[in-house]
Structure 1
Amino acid sequence: MGKTLMLIAAVAAGAGVGFLIYRKFRSRCLP
């Protein structure tokens, strides 16, 4: 059970970080 929660937390954190990087990258490329 604990491993599953850690896995979900890691996936959620990775998605959040990826989204922030994507948004920053997009805003930098577009005018």
Structure 2
Amino acid sequence: MSNYWAHAWYLFETLKEFTMFRTSNFVPIKGM
């Protein structure tokens, strides 16, 4: 069970980093 949560957390962290990276590029546009 712990292995499942470790994998899920890894995917969550990867997705969060990817989302932050993507949104950071659109920050100037959102600012306007």
User: Normalised by the shorter chain, which TM-score bucket?
Assistant: 0.7 to 0.9
For residues 9-28 of structure 1, what are the structure 2 equivalents within 5 Å?
A: 9-28=8-27
Paired residues in the alignment total: 28
Pairing 1:6–2:8 present: no
* Backbone CA RMSD of aligned residues: 1.2
Report sequence identity in percent: 11
TM-score, normalised via structure 2 length: 0.72
Deviation beyond 4 Å, 4+ runs, structure 1: none
Q: Secondary structure at the match of 2:26?
A: helix
Question: Scaled by the length of structure 1, what TM-score is found?
Answer: 0.73
Unaligned runs of 5+ in 2: none
